[in-house]
Amino acid sequence: MRFVDEYRDPAAARGLIGAITELAGDRHHKFMEVCGGHTHTIYRHGIEHVLPSTVELVHGPGCPVCVIPMGRVDDGIALAETPGVIFTSFGDMMRVPGSKGSLLEAKARGADVRFVYSPLDALRIARDNPDRTVVFFAVGFETTAPSTAVTLLKARADGVTNFRVFCNHVTIVPPIKAILESPDLRLDGFLGPGHVSTVVGNRPYRFVPEVYGKPLVTAGFEPLDILQAIHMLLLQLRDGRCEVENQYSRVVADDGNQRALEILAQVFELRPHFEWRGLGFISQSALKLRPEFAAWDAEVTFDVPGVRVADPKACQCGEVLKGVIKPWECKVFGTACTPETPIGTCMVSSEGACAAYYNFGRLHREVSVTLNAR
Amino acid sequence: MCLGIPGQVVEFLDEHEHLARADVAGVKRVINVGLLEDEALQLGDWVLIHVGFAMSKIDEAEASRALEGLQLMGRAFDDEMAALQASPVAEP
């Protein structure tokens, strides 16, 4: 119980762990946490070591940087290397390897690549550089997509004509569906994502219990939140209930953020299909700019290569993202692939399962193994 | 990028542009509050901020818990705060 003492309310945590152990009984339970933020909490706080062996957490695809396929990184680099372009990106994307290196390496070769905190920063750079074209590399689930949408509306309202968006926004429901359809994995339930649900709400997850017969509990990011959500999942299983529940109601409203959803619908439409790293092509799983925003759409105004590139053979990010293997089961984990020299996306982002495990979980696991051996 | 960082609204700047100033872990930042139009934000309210946009209204207890959790993240949080501080985001 070494970890539990560090939790905000150790007594409550102990109580929950006891109740979880009792409810789980002898049966093995496998729950997927969809969100990379949860994966980070789980490894950071050694949650897998305080849970009974009958409760296994597998990590899902909810890391926006991790799911971008190599071909899209190559497209971004091609845009960045176009003469006259200033290419802007969130810091997380800068080190993601494409087939010919990362954006950081493109910058070292002379491309004007700048990292920004917000899409509004990219718009500001466009205003300040009227003789250049500023492209923003938009990534993220519904958590960040509304920010891109607001920025585009502002670019249009203010007549900023040298601003472009290279849109790679993805949506949260289709990959959950893809995982439920996958024969590789037998899950007993889901910890639903926290922050993305502040936008989409809890209603879009109803298909999980209704169509696939699995419970889903939207969870917060503290260790106690995760434990409580697991407890709620086990209670549903015990009672023969199967529904969407909200453990994180102090932040997530069931209806989500209507204003953000309206703005998303105003600016974006669904792509017929989009490639996800590890999950392959998923239909209607990503957003593109509506035709009325074509003048700001990098994919319309530039000749983007759009070449599909297979992941490096050694990299098993795909299996990690589907929850089929754990980070340490990947052949190159911690040897050829580290946060300093990542081969796959899951080792780049702090929300990636491999990076979180490398930075925290690995040590916890070694400590636990040593303690158990005594 | 996906980290939601809590901030307290300390000043409304430009109603038309939906800009406000927030205190984010001691750093004063301009943020866009347009996505919380329906929440009737008041001075002193706490919000979760993603990439410069307030995405949800939270209470003070949640804000302090969230910040504590983020500080435990170490480098990921430091990077996010550094990015936020370096950002020229829409200073009117």
pLDDT digits (tens, 9 = 90+) for A138-166: 999 999 999 999 999 999 999 999 999 99
Residues of chain B in contact with residue A117, where contact means CB-CB under 8 angstroms, are 51-52, 83-84, 86-87, 89
Residues of chain A in contact with residue B68, where contact means CB-CB under 8 angstroms, are 8
- Is a pLDDT exceeding 70 seen at residue A217? yes
Report all structural domains of chain A as residue ranges with CATH numbers, in order of start: 4-61+182-246 (3.40.50.11750), 70-172+256-301 (3.40.50.11740), 317-373 (no CATH)
Mean pLDDT along residues A331-339: 91
Q: What is the CATH number of the domain that holds B36?
A: 2.30.30.140
Query: How distant is the Cα of A220 from the closest Cα of chain B, in angstroms?
Result: 9
- Is a pLDDT exceeding 60 seen at residue A366? yes
Q: Edge-to-edge strands of the sheet including A55-62? A: A55-62, A29-35, A189-192, A216-218, A244-246
Range of the domain at B22: 5-86
- Express as a percent the part of chain A with pLDDT over 90: 75
Yes or no, beta carbons of A222 and B69 under 8 Å apart: yes
Q: What is the pLDDT of residues B41-92, one digit of tens each?
A: 999 999 999 999 999 999 999 999 888 888 877 777 888 888 888 876 655 5
Predicted confidence at residue A267, as pLDDT, reads: 98
Q: Does A46 touch chain B (CB under 8 A)?
A: no
- Number of folded domains in chain B? 1
Please give the helix or strand (H or E) that residue B55 lies within, else none: strand B53-58
Q: Does A136 touch chain B (CB under 8 A)?
A: no
Q: Is residue B92 part of a domain?
A: no
- Between residues A247 and A186, which one has the greater pLDDT? A247
Predicted confidence at residue A186, as pLDDT, reads: 87
Q: Is residue B25 part of a domain?
A: yes
Q: Does A36 touch chain B (CB under 8 A)?
A: yes
Q: Which of B2, B80, B87 is the best mutation test for A, with the most CBs of A within 10 A?
A: B2
Predicted confidence at residue A184, as pLDDT, reads: 77
- Is a pLDDT exceeding 60 seen at residue A1? no
Q: Is residue B23 part of a domain?
A: yes
Q: Does A258 touch chain B (CB under 8 A)?
A: yes
Q: Which H, E and C letters describe chain A, residue by residue?
A: CCCHHHCCCHHHHHHHHHHHHHHHCCCCEEEEEEEHHHHHHHHHCCHHHHCCCCEEEEEEEECCCCCCCHHHHHHHHHHHCCCCEEEEECHHHCCCCECCECHHHHHHCCCCEEECCCHHHHHHHHHHCCCCEEEEEEEECCCCHHHHHHHHHHHHHCCCCCEEEEEEEECCHHHHHHHHHCCCCCCCEEEECCHHHHHHCCHHHHHHHHHHCCCEEECCCCHHHHHHHHHHHHHHHHHCCCCEEECCCCCCCCCCCHHHHHHHHHHEEECCEEEECCCEEEECCEEEECHHHHHHEHHHHCCCCCCCCCCCCCCCHHHHHCCCCCHHHCCCECCCECCCCCCCHHHCCCCCHHHHHHHHHHHHHHHHHHHHHC
Residues of chain A in contact with residue B75, where contact means CB-CB under 8 angstroms, are 350, 359
- Is a pLDDT exceeding 60 seen at residue A168? yes
Q: Is residue B51 part of a domain?
A: yes
- Is a pLDDT exceeding 80 seen at residue B32? yes
Q: Which residue from B minimizes the CA distance to A261?
A: B35
User: Which of A40, A147, A259 lies at the smallest CB-CB distance from B51?
Assistant: A147
Closest CA to A277 of A304, A310, A324: A310
Predicted confidence at residue A368, as pLDDT, reads: 63
Q: Which residue from A minimizes the CA distance to B69?
A: A222
Mean pLDDT along residues A62-66: 90
Q: Does A315 touch chain B (CB under 8 A)?
A: no
Q: Are A179 and A61 in contact (CB under 8 A)?
A: yes
Q: Is residue B47 part of a domain?
A: yes
Query: How distant is the Cα of B42 from the closest Cα of chain A, in angstroms?
Result: 17
Q: Is residue B76 part of a domain?
A: yes
What is the token pair recorded at A107?
Answer: 């910058």
Mean pLDDT along residues A267-272: 98
